[in-house]
Amino acid sequence: MQRELLRVMDGIVGRTKVQNDLEKLFKSGKSELLIVYGRRRVGKTHLIRKYFEGRFAFYTTGMYEASQEQQLEQFATTLGEYQKTKLATPRTWIEAFAMLKAYLLKSRMRRKVVFFDEIPWYDTPGSGFLPAFEAFWNGWGAGRDDLLLIVCGSATTWITNKLLANKGGLFNRATSQIYLEPFTLYETEQFLKSKGIVWSRYDITECYMVMGGIPYYLQQLDPRKSYMENIDEMFFQKNCKLKDEFRHLYNTLFSNSEYYIRIVELLSSKNIGLTREELVKTGNFQNNGYLTEALRNLETSDFVRAYNYYGKKKKNITYQLCDFYSMFYFRFIRQQYGRDEHFWSHSIDLPQRRAWAGYMFEQVCYWHVPQIKQSLGISGILSEQSAWYEHKADEALTSRGAQIDMIIARRDRVISLCEMKFSVGRFVIDSDYEMSLRDKLTAFRSHTLKSNALQIVMISTFGVKPNAHSGIVQSEVLMDDLYKEI
């Protein structure tokens, strides 16, 4: 508890493993090239700035859509501030890195932490930034024992293609990489407490469905207001703080943002997702390499989840929109912004909202599979997660087919069939729902021909109310279990 409170006081909530990794790199005794990347607004810059506060030898950040000349001028100005002198603007990045090298050689800091934030923005067309960076690290930095060079960027595709998958001078040169994920529910709760926000876990979970574990969005919450009031103020009032967030988010991440928005908008229209073939047919996309790259970029950036239905071939990959904020935008913000400034407070009993909450709880569960496995006591057993859907009607299925929200297929030949229910109280299983579950068991066995042991797991907010029909459920996971620290 004392260590946790200390992290909050230092301005960092959670991220325990990441902080341990950063400290190891700082004390490694050799030069390190660390690549930090992740979704925009996830807190990469804040983490590095706070963790190494007072220990930077040099820290600079790229400027969005600035020219090469502007980037070089800003670089020289920042370097001059560290040296307490005015420096002439270098003509090229080769000159800029030579200036940085000369400064670092004079530095008396035993561990020289150099941080390039938003590094993709430095790489303007024809600038020569990347070759100059390669020469700086390969020709000088990597051979030393006192340099910790950190590069960071929200443009995950640039980081992946230009650094992690580099086939040239930076091939296999990064000594470490950190992909910063959104907060878990546990970290979200700790973050809210650090802001003086004490809500029920039901409200925190629904808030997570709106914005995910994205620190920037959570930082906008007002501790003086309720969860409902905050959502109205952030997303539905005219001229709210985040009124331009959607366009800004995609514009800063993807060069052809309209193309990417078309993809995610189409995916938002079908909860279970679409195959590539369905995307091409429904959205009139060209079935070419550009679509392949876009889908890969969206997946790398954690906006889209690519998965196979259980028992299906890999060529039938389904793409599902999994970014909480984007889903909330398409479902509610885009149509309701400015029309009713208290829309979220007024919509509490709308069927549309209840349906949204049920589906989004499934997404919350997919982001917390380690917590689910821990609650089931199977953390140490190798397993795979997927969904299952069978649309072909037969005597084992209704005319609508059958669907199982999450399947955990374990190496010990047990398959957990997980149902998720987000309800305001304990979930009641009646005779119809019990029969529906039995039909799913029969259909799954019939269509997969698996001899594994099957068990039904119910993941719900407050558990299943015991009655004559609840015995069909063999294991339970409660909302509180999703808040465990892993």
pLDDT over 90 percentage in the chain: 75
Task: Give the model's pLDDT for residue 447.
Answer: 83
- Tell whether the model's pLDDT for residue 446 goes beyond 90: no
Residue 417 in tokens: 């069939």
Task: Give the model's pLDDT for residue 10.
Answer: 61
Residue 180 in tokens: 């910063």
> Distance between CA 322 and CA 74 in Å, rounded?
37
Contact 66, 129 (CB under 8 A): no
Q: Which of 229-233, 316-320, 394-398 has the lowest mean pLDDT?
A: 394-398
Residue 362 in tokens: 């499934």
Grade residue 185 by pLDDT with cuts at 50, 70 and 90: very high
- Tell whether the model's pLDDT for residue 429 goes beyond 80: yes
> Distance between CA 13 and CA 15 in Å, rounded?
7
Rounded (10°) angle between helices 2-9 and 185-194: 60
Task: Give the model's pLDDT for residue 158.
Answer: 86
> Distance between CA 26 and CA 52 in Å, rounded?
9
Taking the CA atoms of 60, 62, 66 and 69 in sequence, report the sign of the dihedral they define. positive
What is the mean pLDDT of the segment spanning 146-172?
83
In the sheet that 318-321 helps form, which strands lie side by side, from edge to edge?
274-275, 318-321, 304-307
pLDDT, tens digit, 9 for 90 and up, residues 65-76: 999 999 999 999
Task: Give the model's pLDDT for residue 341.
Answer: 92
Task: Give the model's pLDDT for residue 162.
Answer: 86
Task: Give the model's pLDDT for residue 392.
Answer: 58
pLDDT, tens digit, 9 for 90 and up, residues 249-264: 999 888 889 999 999 9
Which residues have C-beta within 8 Å of that of residue 121, sequence separation ≥ 6?
62, 63, 64, 65, 66, 71, 153, 155
Rounded (10°) angle between helices 257-268 and 289-300: 70
CA distances (Å), origin 143, targets 30, 173, 349: 9, 12, 64
> Distance between CA 434 and CA 415 in Å, rounded?
19
**Which has more pLDDT, 165 or 45?**
45
- Tell whether the model's pLDDT for residue 2 goes beyond 50: no
Distance of CA 336 to the CA centre of its chain: 25
- Tell whether the model's pLDDT for residue 49 goes beyond 50: yes
State the CB neighbour count (10 A cutoff) for residue 435: 12
pLDDT over 70 percentage in the chain: 94
Grade residue 7 by pLDDT with cuts at 50, 70 and 90: very low
- Tell whether the model's pLDDT for residue 5 goes beyond 60: no
What is the mean pLDDT of the segment spanning 187-206?
96
What is the mean pLDDT of the segment spanning 36-46?
92
What is the mean pLDDT of the segment spanning 458-470?
97
Torsion, Cα 457 200 190 151, to 10 degrees, reads 70
What value does the mean pLDDT of the chain take?
91
Task: Give the model's pLDDT for residue 314.
Answer: 64
- Nearest Cα neighbor of 325 from 468, 445, 218 is 218
Grade residue 1 by pLDDT with cuts at 50, 70 and 90: very low
Task: Give the model's pLDDT for residue 307.
Answer: 87
pLDDT, tens digit, 9 for 90 and up, residues 77-134: 999 999 999 999 999 999 999 999 999 999 999 999 999 999 999 999 999 999 999 9
- Nearest Cα neighbor of 174 from 137, 227, 128 is 137
Domains, in order of start, for the chain: 2-179 (3.40.50.300), 185-243+337-359 (no CATH), 246-327 (1.10.10.10), 370-483 (3.40.1350.10)
Contact 155, 44 (CB under 8 A): no
- Nearest Cα neighbor of 263 from 208, 323, 314 is 323
Q: Is the pTM of this model over 0.75?
A: yes
DSSP labels for 223-291?
TTS-HHHHHIIIIISTT-TTTTHHHHHHHHH-TTHHHHHHHHHHHHT-TT-EEHHHHHHHHT---SHHH
> Distance between CA 427 and CA 469 in Å, rounded?
12
Enumerate the H helices of 180-240 as residue ranges.
185-194, 201-211, 215-219, 227-231
